[in-house]
């Protein structure tokens, strides 16, 4: 069935096989799977898509960043080629993408890490039944490293491996360290405009929600000088989702999620994040991948967190010419590490 037609039917009736918690026979080893639709998770309809060349391959749940930045919208996203070796699951989280389109929250409705963690764990159980698997591979980047880390710590029986990428450890500490790095690099470059702009923010914790956005723009500027760019093809929207309404929904969800994460007075989700205290003990192997030039989540903070992690096995790979956002070196490092660690199996 054409993607758009299938999407509409799923949206109207939740009738896609994805909405059936049982019936794992829908995914048989040796057969490909390509499906998408809404699943009732956490009391609301949430959008997921599943794509794999062979249902016998390990199933991998991607936890996107942002919050509010699903990569399911892209035709050739960074993980598109992984469908040869994994059954790849994209999830538009609560208040993101097509999940927002069906369930846009009121402006004053809070978004909480605990609620989204529980969504992710419920979705993981659904996927295990749907795909006939015992465990999933879990991978999350940036905001996804926070949310996925909480999912892994609270649902250890669900995952055979946890791969945090561009790990954010502590909201206030990360912003403070990032600001100092940008000031140092701007001063070294004689970039007085950036020095003045970032110095004027003062030290976190900030009470102006615009401050983080100002810092983020400077981070992207300086990361671009020392990291490889991402292919332009990664950012091409799927035709079925490249509509005025879809783009408006995406932007509205992104704005809402940004405010929920930062907070109007620095009191958003970011202010509550402390992974070392909240999610540092794991019942599955942990394989962390981090960009050497990550200026948003400096590698020194991620390394300290990694050293304190308790897990059956753990490994950290620091990638040269990589910053916070995905590029080819960062994605290739993830693929090599998972292939070496799993050997094509998820048990």
CATH number of the domain that 104 lies in? 3.40.50.1820
| pLDDT above 70: percentage of residues in the chain | 93
Q: How far is CA 318 from CA 39, 137, 169, 219, 282, in A?
A: 36, 20, 16, 19, 21
The secondary element (H helix, E strand) that includes residue 302 is: helix 299-308
Does residue 53 surpass a pLDDT of 70?
yes
Q: Crossing angle for the helix pair 171-188 and 192-199, nearest 10 degrees?
A: 150
Does residue 2 surpass a pLDDT of 90?
no
Neighbours of 135 (CB within 10 A): 18
Q: How far is CA 58 from CA 49, 160, 200, 232, 322, in A?
A: 16, 10, 49, 28, 27
Q: Is the dihedral of CA 214, 63, 286, 171 positive or negative?
A: positive
CB 284 within 8 A of CB 310: no
Peptide bond between residue 67 and the one before it cis (omega within 30 degrees of 0): yes
CB 279 within 8 A of CB 252: no
CB 269 within 8 A of CB 258: no
- DSSP string across 16-43: SGGG-SS-GGGS-TTS-EEEEEEEEETT
**pLDDT digit string (tens) for 203-253?**
999 999 999 999 999 999 999 999 999 999 999 999 989 999 999 999 999
**pLDDT digit string (tens) for 265-311?**
999 999 999 999 999 999 999 999 999 999 999 999 999 999 999 99
| Better-scored residue on pLDDT, 202 or 23 | 202
Q: Confirm whether 198 is domain-assigned.
A: no
CB 166 within 8 A of CB 297: yes
Neighbours of 240 (CB within 10 A): 17
pLDDT score recorded for residue 87: 97
Strand, coil or helix: what is 56? coil
Cβ neighbours of residue 327 under 8 Å, at least 6 residues apart? 227, 228, 229, 230, 321
Q: How far apart are CA 125 and CA 106, in angstroms?
A: 28
Q: List the one residue out of 95, 37, 108 whose CA is nearest residue 68.
A: 95
Q: Confirm whether 101 is domain-assigned.
A: yes
| Domain tally, the chain | 1
Q: Confirm whether 266 is domain-assigned.
A: yes
pLDDT tier, 23 (very low <50, low <70, confident <90, very high otherwise): very low
Does residue 15 surpass a pLDDT of 70?
no
**pLDDT digit string (tens) for 89-142?**
999 999 999 999 999 999 889 999 999 999 999 999 999 999 999 999 999 999
Q: Confirm whether 202 is domain-assigned.
A: no
| pLDDT above 90: percentage of residues in the chain | 88
Domain that holds residue 33: 3-172+228-342
pLDDT score recorded for residue 28: 85
Q: Confirm whether 200 is domain-assigned.
A: no
- Say how far residue 191 (Cα) sits from the centre of its chain: 32
Rg (CA), the chain: 20
Q: List the one residue out of 295, 135, 159 whose CA is nearest residue 225.
A: 295
Does residue 195 surpass a pLDDT of 90?
yes
pLDDT score recorded for residue 26: 65
Q: Confirm whether 212 is domain-assigned.
A: no
Beginning with the edge strand found earlier in the chain, give each strand of the sheet holding 33-41 in spatial order: 33-41, 44-52, 87-91, 59-63, 136-141, 159-165, 286-291, 314-319
Q: How far apart are CA 151 and CA 125, in angstroms?
A: 12
Q: Is the dihedral of CA 156, 157, 161, 162 positive or negative?
A: negative
Q: Confirm whether 179 is domain-assigned.
A: no
Q: 12-26, 42-56, 77-91: which has the minimum mean pLDDT?
A: 12-26
pLDDT score recorded for residue 107: 85
Q: Confirm whether 222 is domain-assigned.
A: no
């Amino acid at each position: 069935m054409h993607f758009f037609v299938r999407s509409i039917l799923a949206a109207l009736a939740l009738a896609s096989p994805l909405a059936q918690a049982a019936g794992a026979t829908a995914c048989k080893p040796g057969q490909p799977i390509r499906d998408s639709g809404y699943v009732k998770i956490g009391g609301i309809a949430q959008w997921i898509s599943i794509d794999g060349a062979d249902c016998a391959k390990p199933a991998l749940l991607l936890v996107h960043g942002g919050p509010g930045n699903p990569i399911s919208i892209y035709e050739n996203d960074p993980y598109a080629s992984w469908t040869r070796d994994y059954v790849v699951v994209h999830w538009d989280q609560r208040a993101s993408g097509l999940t927002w389109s069906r369930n846009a929250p009121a402006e004053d409705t809070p978004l909480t890490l605990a609620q989204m963690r529980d969504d992710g764990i419920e979705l993981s159980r659904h996927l295990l039944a749907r795909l006939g698997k015992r465990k999933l591979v879990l991978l999350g980047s940036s905001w996804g490293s926070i949310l996925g880390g909480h999912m892994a710590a609270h649902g250890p029986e669900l995952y055979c491996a946890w791969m945090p990428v561009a790990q954010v450890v502590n909201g206030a500490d990360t912003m403070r360290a990032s600001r100092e790095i940008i000031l140092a690099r701007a001063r070294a470059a004689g970039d007085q405009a950036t020095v003045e702009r970032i110095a004027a923010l003062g030290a976190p914790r900030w009470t102006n929600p615009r401050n983080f956005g100002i810092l983020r723009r400077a981070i992207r500027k300086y990361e671009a000088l020392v990291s490889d760019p991402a292919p332009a093809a990664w950012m091409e929207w799927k035709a079925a989702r490249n509509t005025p309404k879809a783009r408006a929904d995406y932007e509205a969800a992104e704005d809402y999620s940004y405010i929920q994460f930062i907070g109007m007075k620095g009191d958003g989700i970011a202010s509550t994040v402390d992974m070392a205290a909240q999610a540092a003990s794991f019942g599955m192997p942990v394989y962390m991948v981090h960009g050497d030039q990550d200026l948003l989540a400096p590698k020194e903070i991620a390394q300290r967190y990694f050293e304190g992690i308790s897990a059956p096995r753990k490994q950290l790979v620091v990638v040269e010419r990589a910053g916070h956002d995905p590029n080819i070196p960062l994605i290739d490092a993830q693929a090599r590490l998972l292939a070496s660690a799993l050997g094509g199996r998820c048990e």
